[in-house]
Structure 1
Amino acid sequence: MTDIHSTAIVEDGAFVGDGCRVGPYCVVGPNVRLEPGVILEAHVAVAGHTTIGSGTHIFPFASIGHKPQDLKYAGEPTRLEIGQNNQIREHVTMSPGTVGGGDLTKVGNNSLFMMGSHIGHDCIVGDHVILANNATLAGHVELEDYVIMGGLSAVRQWSRIGTGAIVGGMTGVEFDVIPFGSVIGDRARLAGLNLIGLKRKDLPREQIHALRNAYKKLFESDEGTLRERADVVATENADQPLVKTVTDFILEKENRRFCTPRGGD
């Protein structure tokens, strides 16, 4: 059964699904939708046009769906969509989208957002993501599946971080990070591949070996631009799915800058 504490405020119009628990002193706004099995611990505030997927567990003092930190925002009914089975820990903040960014901030499934982490307006966050304590995403950031961000790290607006990448603690990401990349530094530089993450997925050794060879051709050569090298590597590795994931990411959009071992390229 749904359990709403007597001190909680659930405004008229809000939807609270079967099996939800809304703890003491929570505030749930009129345009909020809590799918079945959502748990709000004490002092959680959920506002705006926000949907929270089933099984997501939100801890005290999280602020979800309130006005985005964008001076151009003028109260438009933009949205925040959070998927299923996420853990959103204490003092996490997640903002809705803005008109200039497509009206939507979207968070996927099965992720962990540790204490004090922040999802800015218009971000798109994939599945199985981990943001450690006080990791922050500025507006319009894209995080693909299985990204890990270390504590106190930050990503500049409009940046992309590819699937399976890892960002070291206290690292500032200014440019795109390739899939399976590992970046570190006060201004992020590419330090290699996230080999531990790849091995944990029990991927075939030959695929990881091909990816390592492709990485060397992409980032240890000075011939041509990164985009030109990616074209060559993609042709040479048409049957290698991990390599294709990286080259597709590089070639998908023009005029992008990437974290490289030397800085931005």
Structure 2
Amino acid sequence: MMKFGVLGALTINDVEVAGILTAPKPRSVLAMLMLEPGRAVSTASLIQELWDERPPRSAATTLQTYVLQLRRMFRDISSRADSHSNPDTLVTRVPGYLLKAEEVEHDLSAYETLVRQGQKCLETGDNEQADQLLSRALQLWRGAPLSDIRPGPLLYPQICGLEESRLAATEMHIEANLRLGRHREMQSELTVLVGTYPLHESIRVKHMLALFRSGRLSAALDSFHEYRGRLVSELGLEPSPRIRGLQQAMLCFDPMADSLAILDRADTDVLTNLS
């Protein structure tokens, strides 16, 4: 069974493709195909990715040459594989080319399945199972998606989408752990995230909660003020009622008070056991 990897540098059977295909454009073609296993990617899309709006007259012929290189690569991989892999992995399908999905392990497909399952568990309150599933999903990442590819106009938004998905899965993973009372364990991970995404409100909320629930009120308030300072200086905006409400709840929290009512309903669960 052949293994495809896109959650990091492109890999086939755990071997980085950059060591096999040194030219960047054939790798871009492969990346386009590997992101859509079992679906035909049109010749027009591949040409647009490689040359944007200024393809050379020889674009179609050159693309065929790249596809020939990829087919040769797959045949070489199949001949070296211990198992009987199908050498005809890359086939022509109208309106372009297709990577067969049969008998292929794809890290992106596995990741997306685990995230869907983890999200469902989180929604139903099975936080322990959600943490396990989301942790397994995040462990599939080996670095930035398609890190050895020079993205063109079509690959770039797909890479951004993968990064956003990774961040969303990380947030759900942290949420599950906060619900399980693992506030101290989440502090270092959240500190890194707020450094990377200093204006991301949801991450900042979780950072403040983890600090507060660990008995670090001063640090939680410092996190809020750092966030507000950046928001005002960089965007000219004030914090939303949601995060300001969290700050006030931390300053004068009373388990019997109604101070949490000013927050969104989605945040009420987050604030359970605040003290």
- Give the TM-score taking structure 2 as reference length: 0.30
Structure possessing the higher radius of gyration over alpha carbons? 2
- Structure showing greater relative contact order (alpha-carbon pairs closer than 8 Å, 6 or more residues apart): 2
- Give the TM-score taking structure 1 as reference length: 0.31
Q: Which of the pair is proportionally richer in strand?
A: 1
Q: Which of the pair is proportionally richer in helix?
A: 2
